[in-house]
Structure 1
Amino acid sequence: MDCKATVEIGEYSRGGQTRGYNQAQDHDMGTKEKYVPCGIVDEDTGQLYVTFGSSYKTSDFMVDNLEQWWTSLSITEKQQLENIQIKVDNGAENSEIRRQFLKRMVEFADQTKKSIQLLYFPPYHSKYNPIERCWGILERHWNGTLLRKAQTMLAWVKTMTWKGLNPIVKLSKKVYQKGISLTKKEMKEIEKHLERNPHLPKWDILIRPS
């Protein structure tokens, strides 16, 4: 699970190539329409889930997408999962010390009744995160296309393939607040639910449901 760079909607060049004669702006002239892509790839099935958010990239945005992924599964698929392993970069919104993210993950474990294992990639190793490969394929897929409208952006993502499957794509208009945090007292309660690997406490965290 991870977010990629913000996508600007408009006549903007992204460095790719297209057929025919196309002109594009090479500078951001203050575009007002931007979207943050958040992706989740199921390594067992190969299914890719992508949500484009019109608000900020926050811990809540990322976990909300994780909850949407969970609700999209069938009862049988949920029952077959013994636990949920999530591979993430140690970014600002989802790091192993990000209080709001860890709080939401504890709540997610309670919601799903599944143990959650958070596996973090060390700095400069994000290329090994499976979702990063999906982003690379998306960039090659839409290449130099001018994303003039949000619907154009969504349509292109829906036609890419990963492991032979088209992604499940959604658009979120929910507004997220930045800077949400917990007090030290609240975080102590959250830490009680976190089982940090004694050898890799920053990179491997297990959360069991209550």
Structure 2
Amino acid sequence: MKHDTASDPVSGILWTRRTTEKVADELASGGIEVCPNTVAKLLKELGYRLKVNAKKLNRQKDPGRDVQFAYIAAMREDFSQAGLPVVSIDAKHRELVGEFKNAGTTWVREPVTVLDHDFLSDATGVALPYGVYDIGANEACVSVGTTHDTPDFAVDNLARWWACHGRHRYPEATELLVLADSGGSNGARCRAWKYGLQHRICDRYSLTVTVCHYPSGASKWNPIEHRAFSEIQKNWAGRPLTDYETVLNYISTTRTKSGLRVDAHLVQLNYPTGVKVSDKEMKDLSLRPHDTQPNRNYTISPR
């Protein structure tokens, strides 16, 4: 085992690339007859553990990563101190609706039977959860789309949150801070996203919107990921999402000890892809990039 062993220098946990069957065979060749199960017990006593690969390596060199995290922290503090709303937005990965396997386990007498393959042709449809998480109120509003995750879809969901929750919760607020990932439908380089913010939120509600994007590869630090979406994932773990009513029910009944509340609704509008915004339309926006990393931080004011 000496040349097939690696270890964690901090925890001291050991692991090996050899299977218990191979170790048992080698011991047998040396005159020691043991079964693979006994080998597994002995390895545990020696400090070995079964481990999966840990996704921690990041080859993207981003010199402004720490600066952006510090800037986001400062912006959150400034808005919170002023009593202004701060929201975190993101889209969860697409879910097939139907009798499909859902990752996780649940306490039941008999396992629920599901289809043996996840074919889109067998699905009732697709569910595209898009969330707006109010950090100060610890409440999330999740819109479940049925077509595509586009910039128009993202803007509509944020506008719906402001119309139904935000402006009533913060009646005196004239500014909003939005924390978002760098890519996707609400990405830092997405023209349609900024265009939609101007026309359907800033101008319509006379609201100044400041957007700060997390660095590439840092989506796990976006608050909605670990405060809302992870809890929704736990709530429906091991339960097939057989229809849209089931999807909405699991999302809206998500609760945590810290007091999280989630509102969910279905959005059956068709959002076409490939919508373009021209240079002229971009010049008409009331868009002000910040001095700190202007490609990631900007404010859009009502016209």
From 111, 117, 133, the counterpart of 1:27: 117
Identical residues among aligned pairs (%) = 26
> Matches of 2:132 and 2:271 in 1, distance apart?
19
Which structure 2 residue ranges, 5 or more long, are not aligned? 1-88
Larger C-alpha radius of gyration, 1 or 2? 2
TM-score where L is the length of structure 2: 0.65
Residue 69, structure 1, aligned to residue 161, structure 2: yes
Residue 144, structure 1, aligned to residue 238, structure 2: yes
Provide the secondary structure at the position in 2 that maps to 1:79: coil
Q: Deviations over 1:177-198 (max 9, x none)?
A: 11111122222222xx111112
> Matches of 2:187 and 2:294 in 1, distance apart?
12
Provide the secondary structure at the position in 2 that maps to 1:116: strand
Question: Which stretch has the larger CA shift, 157-166 or 35-44?
Answer: 157-166
Question: Are 2:133 and 2:224, in contact at CA under 8 Å, matched by a contact in 1?
Answer: yes
| Corresponding position of 2:58 | none
> Matches of 1:178 and 1:15 in 2, distance apart?
29
Residue correspondence of structure 1 range 77-156 to structure 2 within 5 A: 77-107=169-199, 108-133=201-226, 134-156=228-250
Question: Are 2:212 and 2:297, in contact at CA under 8 Å, matched by a contact in 1?
Answer: yes
> Matches of 1:89 and 1:207 in 2, distance apart?
17
Residue 15, structure 1, aligned to residue 103, structure 2: yes
> Matches of 2:291 and 2:261 in 1, distance apart?
40
Question: Which stretch has the larger CA shift, 18-27 or 110-119?
Answer: 18-27
| Corresponding position of 2:293 | 200
From 152, 166, 186, the counterpart of 2:261: 166
Q: Deviations over 1:150-203 (max 9, x none)?
A: 11111111111254143111001111111111122222222xx11111221121
TM-score where L is the length of structure 1: 0.92
Deviation at 1:13, TM superposition (A): 1.2
Question: Are 2:174 and 2:206, in contact at CA under 8 Å, matched by a contact in 1?
Answer: no
| Corresponding position of 1:182 | 277
| Corresponding position of 1:3 | 91
Quickly say closer, same or farther: Cα 1:176–1:67, change in 2 above 3 A: same
| Corresponding position of 2:147 | 55
Kindly report the root-mean-square deviation, in angstroms, between the aligned alpha carbons of the 2 structures.
1.7
Q: Deviations over 1:69-90 (max 9, x none)?
A: 1111376534232410000111
> Matches of 2:295 and 2:101 in 1, distance apart?
39
> Matches of 1:87 and 1:75 in 2, distance apart?
18
> Matches of 1:98 and 1:74 in 2, distance apart?
24
Aligned length: 208
Q: Give, as a single letter, the amino acid of the residue that structure 1 aligns with 2:270.
A: V
Deviation at 1:26, TM superposition (A): 4.9
> Matches of 1:74 and 1:120 in 2, distance apart?
21
